[in-house]
Amino acid sequence: MYLLVLLTVFGVAFAVPLTAPSTEVFSAPTEEERAAVYVLPRDIIPTFYDVRLILNPDNEEYFTGAVDIRILPLIITKQITLHAMAMNISAADIEVYAESAPTVNLFQSHTLATNDTHLFRITLNRNMTVLQPHTIRIKHYVGHYGEDVRGIFISTYTTGGTNHKLITSYVEPTFARSVFPCYDEPALKAIFRTTIYSPPAYSAVRSNIPVRAQSLKPDIPGYAKHEFDDTLVMSTYLLAYLVSNLDYVDNAMDTPYKDLYVPSTVQGIF
Ligand SMILES: *[C@@H]1O[C@H](CO)[C@@H](O)[C@H](O)[C@H]1NC(C)=O
Ligand SMILES: *[C@@H]1O[C@H](CO)[C@@H](O)[C@H](O)[C@H]1NC(C)=O
Ligand SMILES: *[C@@H]1O[C@H](CO)[C@@H](O)[C@H](O)[C@H]1NC(C)=O
Protein backbone atom coordinates (compact mmCIF):
# COMPACT_ATOMS: atom_id res chain seq x y z
CA MET A 1 0.00 0.00 0.00
CA TYR A 2 2.77 2.41 0.97
CA LEU A 3 4.68 1.52 -2.19
CA LEU A 4 1.67 2.10 -4.35
CA VAL A 5 1.11 5.55 -2.87
CA LEU A 6 4.77 6.36 -3.33
CA LEU A 7 4.66 5.32 -6.98
CA THR A 8 1.61 7.43 -7.55
CA VAL A 9 3.34 10.42 -5.99
CA PHE A 10 6.44 9.82 -8.10
CA GLY A 11 4.27 9.31 -11.12
CA VAL A 12 2.63 12.68 -10.63
CA ALA A 13 5.91 14.35 -9.75
CA PHE A 14 7.68 13.04 -12.85
CA ALA A 15 4.78 13.31 -15.25
CA VAL A 16 4.84 17.09 -15.26
CA PRO A 17 8.55 17.92 -15.64
CA LEU A 18 9.18 15.11 -18.10
CA THR A 19 6.47 16.02 -20.56
CA ALA A 20 6.13 19.79 -20.17
CA PRO A 21 9.68 21.02 -20.87
CA SER A 22 10.33 18.48 -23.60
CA THR A 23 8.53 20.45 -26.32
CA GLU A 24 10.26 23.66 -25.21
CA VAL A 25 13.76 22.22 -25.07
CA PHE A 26 13.65 20.35 -28.35
CA SER A 27 12.07 23.16 -30.41
CA ALA A 28 15.06 25.51 -29.94
CA PRO A 29 17.62 24.74 -32.67
CA THR A 30 21.27 24.33 -31.73
CA GLU A 31 23.96 26.62 -33.11
CA GLU A 32 24.89 23.93 -35.65
CA GLU A 33 21.30 23.53 -36.80
CA ARG A 34 20.93 27.29 -37.25
CA ALA A 35 24.22 27.46 -39.14
CA ALA A 36 23.08 24.63 -41.42
CA VAL A 37 20.05 26.76 -42.37
CA TYR A 38 21.75 30.16 -42.73
CA VAL A 39 25.39 29.66 -43.72
CA LEU A 40 26.22 29.04 -47.37
CA PRO A 41 27.69 25.64 -48.19
CA ARG A 42 31.40 26.15 -48.87
CA ASP A 43 31.35 23.89 -51.92
CA ILE A 44 31.54 26.70 -54.51
CA ILE A 45 33.58 29.90 -54.38
CA PRO A 46 32.93 33.08 -56.38
CA THR A 47 35.93 34.79 -57.97
CA PHE A 48 34.52 37.62 -60.10
CA TYR A 49 31.29 39.62 -60.40
CA ASP A 50 30.25 41.78 -63.34
CA VAL A 51 27.36 43.87 -61.99
CA ARG A 52 25.15 46.19 -64.04
CA LEU A 53 22.66 48.38 -62.16
CA ILE A 54 20.00 50.60 -63.67
CA LEU A 55 19.31 53.12 -60.92
CA ASN A 56 16.75 55.89 -61.31
CA PRO A 57 16.09 57.95 -58.15
CA ASP A 58 12.80 59.10 -59.69
CA ASN A 59 11.42 55.53 -59.68
CA GLU A 60 11.11 54.55 -56.05
CA GLU A 61 9.20 51.33 -56.80
CA TYR A 62 12.11 49.23 -57.96
CA PHE A 63 15.43 49.12 -59.78
CA THR A 64 16.73 46.56 -62.24
CA GLY A 65 20.05 44.88 -62.74
CA ALA A 66 22.02 42.06 -64.27
CA VAL A 67 25.01 40.12 -63.00
CA ASP A 68 27.51 37.54 -64.24
CA ILE A 69 29.24 35.62 -61.44
CA ARG A 70 32.31 33.51 -62.13
CA ILE A 71 32.45 30.53 -59.77
CA LEU A 72 34.73 27.60 -59.02
CA PRO A 73 33.09 24.39 -57.75
CA LEU A 74 35.17 22.68 -55.05
CA ILE A 75 33.14 19.45 -55.25
CA ILE A 76 31.16 17.62 -57.93
CA THR A 77 27.69 19.16 -57.67
CA LYS A 78 24.71 20.43 -59.62
CA GLN A 79 23.43 22.61 -56.76
CA ILE A 80 24.36 26.29 -56.55
CA THR A 81 23.36 28.23 -53.42
CA LEU A 82 23.86 31.98 -53.05
CA HIS A 83 21.95 34.98 -51.63
CA ALA A 84 19.24 37.22 -53.06
CA MET A 85 16.95 39.43 -50.99
CA ALA A 86 13.74 41.23 -51.98
CA MET A 87 14.27 40.40 -55.64
CA ASN A 88 12.26 39.00 -58.50
CA ILE A 89 14.23 36.69 -60.77
CA SER A 90 12.55 34.68 -63.54
CA ALA A 91 13.77 31.27 -64.66
CA ALA A 92 14.06 32.61 -68.22
CA ASP A 93 16.68 35.11 -67.02
CA ILE A 94 19.00 32.58 -65.36
CA GLU A 95 21.74 30.82 -67.32
CA VAL A 96 24.78 28.83 -66.18
CA TYR A 97 27.70 27.99 -68.45
CA ALA A 98 30.90 26.04 -68.09
CA GLU A 99 33.77 28.17 -69.33
CA SER A 100 34.77 25.23 -71.55
CA ALA A 101 31.30 25.15 -73.24
CA PRO A 102 30.05 28.75 -73.25
CA THR A 103 26.97 28.05 -75.39
CA VAL A 104 25.50 25.14 -73.39
CA ASN A 105 23.08 26.48 -70.77
CA LEU A 106 23.09 24.12 -67.77
CA PHE A 107 20.21 25.81 -65.91
CA GLN A 108 17.33 23.57 -64.88
CA SER A 109 15.37 25.21 -62.04
CA HIS A 110 15.64 27.67 -59.16
CA THR A 111 14.05 28.63 -55.84
CA LEU A 112 14.16 31.99 -54.12
CA ALA A 113 13.65 31.94 -50.33
CA THR A 114 11.03 34.38 -49.13
CA ASN A 115 12.04 33.83 -45.50
CA ASP A 116 15.01 35.42 -43.76
CA THR A 117 17.55 32.92 -45.08
CA HIS A 118 17.59 34.84 -48.41
CA LEU A 119 18.86 31.71 -50.12
CA PHE A 120 18.74 31.61 -53.90
CA ARG A 121 19.20 28.03 -55.12
CA ILE A 122 19.89 27.00 -58.69
CA THR A 123 19.80 23.39 -59.87
CA LEU A 124 21.68 22.41 -63.02
CA ASN A 125 20.86 19.64 -65.47
CA ARG A 126 24.28 18.07 -64.94
CA ASN A 127 27.13 18.04 -62.45
CA MET A 128 29.86 20.64 -62.54
CA THR A 129 33.42 19.35 -62.54
CA VAL A 130 35.68 20.27 -59.62
CA LEU A 131 37.64 23.52 -60.21
CA GLN A 132 36.21 23.98 -63.69
CA PRO A 133 35.18 27.67 -63.91
CA HIS A 134 31.50 28.33 -64.53
CA THR A 135 29.51 31.54 -64.99
CA ILE A 136 26.10 32.20 -63.42
CA ARG A 137 24.38 34.74 -65.67
CA ILE A 138 21.35 36.60 -64.31
CA LYS A 139 20.32 38.55 -67.39
CA HIS A 140 17.69 40.63 -65.60
CA TYR A 141 16.27 40.97 -62.12
CA VAL A 142 14.05 43.43 -60.28
CA GLY A 143 15.38 44.76 -56.97
CA HIS A 144 13.74 46.87 -54.27
CA TYR A 145 15.14 49.82 -52.35
CA GLY A 146 15.61 49.44 -48.60
CA GLU A 147 13.16 51.32 -46.42
CA ASP A 148 15.32 51.76 -43.34
CA VAL A 149 18.81 52.81 -44.47
CA ARG A 150 19.74 49.24 -45.33
CA GLY A 151 21.00 47.88 -48.61
CA ILE A 152 20.52 50.40 -51.39
CA PHE A 153 18.02 53.16 -50.66
CA ILE A 154 16.66 56.53 -51.76
CA SER A 155 17.25 59.64 -49.63
CA THR A 156 15.97 63.19 -50.05
CA TYR A 157 17.39 66.60 -49.24
CA THR A 158 16.22 70.17 -49.80
CA THR A 159 18.11 73.12 -51.23
CA GLY A 160 16.48 76.52 -51.69
CA GLY A 161 13.00 75.06 -51.24
CA THR A 162 13.52 72.32 -53.84
CA ASN A 163 13.52 68.63 -52.97
CA HIS A 164 16.23 66.43 -54.43
CA LYS A 165 16.70 62.70 -54.37
CA LEU A 166 19.76 60.56 -54.23
CA ILE A 167 20.47 56.85 -54.15
CA THR A 168 23.07 55.61 -51.72
CA SER A 169 23.87 52.36 -49.97
CA TYR A 170 24.86 50.79 -46.68
CA VAL A 171 25.22 47.08 -47.31
CA GLU A 172 27.05 46.12 -44.11
CA PRO A 173 26.68 43.48 -42.78
CA THR A 174 24.37 41.38 -44.99
CA PHE A 175 22.57 43.61 -47.49
CA ALA A 176 24.73 43.40 -50.61
CA ARG A 177 22.32 40.55 -51.40
CA SER A 178 19.56 43.16 -51.83
CA VAL A 179 21.61 44.98 -54.52
CA PHE A 180 22.46 41.95 -56.66
CA PRO A 181 22.49 38.16 -56.20
CA CYS A 182 25.80 37.26 -54.54
CA TYR A 183 27.68 35.07 -52.10
CA ASP A 184 27.08 37.51 -49.25
CA GLU A 185 29.47 36.26 -46.59
CA PRO A 186 32.68 38.16 -45.66
CA ALA A 187 35.03 35.23 -46.28
CA LEU A 188 33.79 34.72 -49.84
CA LYS A 189 35.86 37.54 -51.35
CA ALA A 190 36.00 38.29 -55.06
CA ILE A 191 36.71 41.00 -57.64
CA PHE A 192 33.77 43.30 -58.48
CA ARG A 193 33.23 45.10 -61.78
CA THR A 194 30.40 47.64 -61.63
CA THR A 195 28.48 49.59 -64.26
CA ILE A 196 25.76 52.02 -63.18
CA TYR A 197 23.21 53.35 -65.66
CA SER A 198 21.32 56.37 -64.33
CA PRO A 199 19.44 59.42 -65.68
CA PRO A 200 21.84 62.05 -67.10
CA ALA A 201 20.40 64.64 -64.67
CA TYR A 202 22.28 62.84 -61.86
CA SER A 203 25.88 63.80 -62.46
CA ALA A 204 27.71 62.50 -59.39
CA VAL A 205 27.67 58.71 -59.65
CA ARG A 206 30.19 56.72 -57.65
CA SER A 207 31.19 53.27 -56.50
CA ASN A 208 34.21 51.93 -54.61
CA ILE A 209 36.78 52.51 -57.30
CA PRO A 210 37.61 55.15 -59.97
CA VAL A 211 35.86 55.34 -63.31
CA ARG A 212 37.15 52.97 -65.99
CA ALA A 213 39.14 54.57 -68.79
CA GLN A 214 38.07 52.18 -71.57
CA SER A 215 34.36 51.51 -72.02
CA LEU A 216 33.29 47.85 -72.07
CA LYS A 217 29.51 47.93 -71.83
CA PRO A 218 26.84 48.95 -74.33
CA ASP A 219 24.89 52.18 -73.88
CA ILE A 220 21.23 52.19 -72.84
CA PRO A 221 19.14 54.94 -74.50
CA GLY A 222 18.07 57.64 -72.04
CA TYR A 223 20.70 56.71 -69.45
CA ALA A 224 24.21 57.89 -68.71
CA LYS A 225 26.68 55.01 -68.32
CA HIS A 226 29.20 54.99 -65.45
CA GLU A 227 31.74 52.20 -65.70
CA PHE A 228 34.11 51.53 -62.82
CA ASP A 229 37.44 49.74 -62.66
CA ASP A 230 37.64 46.24 -61.24
CA THR A 231 38.08 46.26 -57.46
CA LEU A 232 40.73 44.39 -55.57
CA VAL A 233 39.65 41.07 -54.08
CA MET A 234 37.22 42.13 -51.36
CA SER A 235 34.13 41.22 -49.31
CA THR A 236 30.60 42.08 -50.42
CA TYR A 237 29.83 44.13 -47.29
CA LEU A 238 32.35 46.82 -48.37
CA LEU A 239 30.53 47.66 -51.63
CA ALA A 240 29.07 51.16 -51.97
CA TYR A 241 26.98 53.03 -54.54
CA LEU A 242 25.94 56.65 -55.05
CA VAL A 243 23.68 58.26 -57.68
CA SER A 244 23.32 61.94 -56.90
CA ASN A 245 23.62 65.57 -57.86
CA LEU A 246 26.13 66.27 -55.12
CA ASP A 247 29.01 68.61 -55.93
CA TYR A 248 32.53 67.53 -55.18
CA VAL A 249 35.97 68.94 -54.58
CA ASP A 250 39.24 67.14 -55.09
CA ASN A 251 40.95 66.62 -51.80
CA ALA A 252 44.43 67.95 -51.22
CA MET A 253 46.22 64.63 -51.44
CA ASP A 254 47.15 62.86 -54.60
CA THR A 255 44.47 60.16 -54.29
CA PRO A 256 41.43 59.34 -56.39
CA TYR A 257 39.10 60.23 -53.49
CA LYS A 258 36.93 63.33 -53.57
CA ASP A 259 34.82 65.08 -50.96
CA LEU A 260 31.15 65.17 -51.92
CA TYR A 261 28.76 67.79 -50.65
CA VAL A 262 25.25 69.06 -51.23
CA PRO A 263 25.18 72.14 -53.49
CA SER A 264 24.27 75.47 -51.77
CA THR A 265 22.59 75.44 -48.37
CA VAL A 266 21.52 72.10 -46.95
CA GLN A 267 18.26 72.29 -45.08
CA GLY A 268 17.79 68.62 -44.42
CA ILE A 269 19.27 65.32 -45.37
CA PHE A 270 17.63 62.08 -44.40
C1 LIG B 1 7.99 39.94 -56.86
O2 LIG B 1 7.89 38.91 -55.89
C3 LIG B 1 6.99 39.19 -54.83
C4 LIG B 1 7.07 38.05 -53.86
O5 LIG B 1 8.36 37.69 -53.58
C6 LIG B 1 5.60 39.38 -55.39
O7 LIG B 1 4.75 39.75 -54.34
C8 LIG B 1 5.61 40.44 -56.47
O9 LIG B 1 4.35 40.51 -57.07
C10 LIG B 1 6.66 40.14 -57.51
N11 LIG B 1 6.71 41.26 -58.45
C12 LIG B 1 6.81 41.09 -59.74
C13 LIG B 1 6.90 42.34 -60.55
O14 LIG B 1 6.84 39.99 -60.26
C1 LIG C 1 13.40 28.93 -44.96
O2 LIG C 1 12.78 28.11 -45.93
C3 LIG C 1 13.50 26.93 -46.22
C4 LIG C 1 12.75 26.18 -47.30
O5 LIG C 1 11.85 26.96 -47.98
C6 LIG C 1 13.61 26.07 -45.00
O7 LIG C 1 14.39 24.94 -45.30
C8 LIG C 1 14.27 26.87 -43.91
O9 LIG C 1 14.29 26.12 -42.72
C10 LIG C 1 13.52 28.15 -43.66
N11 LIG C 1 14.25 28.93 -42.69
C12 LIG C 1 13.68 29.54 -41.67
C13 LIG C 1 14.61 30.28 -40.76
O14 LIG C 1 12.48 29.51 -41.48
C1 LIG D 1 26.60 13.89 -59.83
O2 LIG D 1 27.46 13.77 -58.74
C3 LIG D 1 26.90 13.06 -57.65
C4 LIG D 1 27.85 13.19 -56.47
O5 LIG D 1 29.15 12.90 -56.84
C6 LIG D 1 26.66 11.61 -58.07
O7 LIG D 1 26.06 10.89 -57.01
C8 LIG D 1 25.74 11.61 -59.28
O9 LIG D 1 25.58 10.28 -59.78
C10 LIG D 1 26.28 12.50 -60.38
N11 LIG D 1 25.29 12.60 -61.43
C12 LIG D 1 25.59 12.47 -62.71
C13 LIG D 1 24.46 12.59 -63.67
O14 LIG D 1 26.72 12.27 -63.09
Query: Angle CA(110)–CA(134)–CA(39) in degrees, nearest 5?
Result: 55
Residue 176's φ and ψ, nearest 5 degrees, are -60, -30
Q: Which of the listed residues 43, 74, 76 should we mutate to test ligand 3's pocket, taking the one with most ligand atoms within 8 A of CB?
A: 76
Same-domain status, 69 and 171: yes
pLDDT in tens, 174-222: 999 999 999 999 999 999 999 999 999 999 999 999 999 999 999 999 9
Residues 65 and 30 in one domain: no
**Strand 268-269 relative to strand 247-250: parallel, antiparallel, unpaired?**
unpaired
Please say if the pLDDT value at position 74 is more than 60.
yes
- What confidence tens digit (pLDDT) does each residue in 14-72 have? 444 444 444 555 677 888 888 888 999 999 999 999 999 999 999 999 999 999 999 99
* Probe target for ligand 2 pocket from 31, 109, 117, 119, with the most ligand atoms within 8 Å of CB: 117
Query: Do 104 and 17 lie in a common domain?
Result: no
Q: Which amino acid is at 261?
A: Y
Judgement on whether residues 12 and 120 belong to the same structural domain of the protein: no
What's the CATH number where 149 sits? 2.60.40.1730
Same domain for 88 and 20, yes or no, is no
Q: 32 and 49: one domain?
A: no
User: What are the distances in angstroms from CA 91 to CA 40, 73, 138, 263?
Assistant: 21, 22, 9, 44
Number of domains in the chain: 2
Residue 16 shares a structural domain with residue 53? no
Residues sharing a CB contact under 8 Å with residue 148, sequence separation 6 or more, in sequence order: none
Same domain flag for 50 and 166: yes
Instruction: State the residue range of the domain holding 16.
Output: 2-37
Identify whether residues 240 and 160 lie together within a single domain.
yes
The C-alpha atoms of residue 123 and residue 113 are separated, in whole angstroms, by 14
With contact defined as beta carbons under 8 Å apart, do 63 and 145 qualify? yes
Residues 138 and 15 in one domain: no
User: How many other C-beta atoms are found inside a 10 Å radius of the C-beta of residue 202?
Assistant: 23
Please tell me the number of the ligand nearest to residue 37's CA. 2
Q: Are residues 17 and 105 in the same domain?
A: no
Domain identity same for 134 and 248:
yes
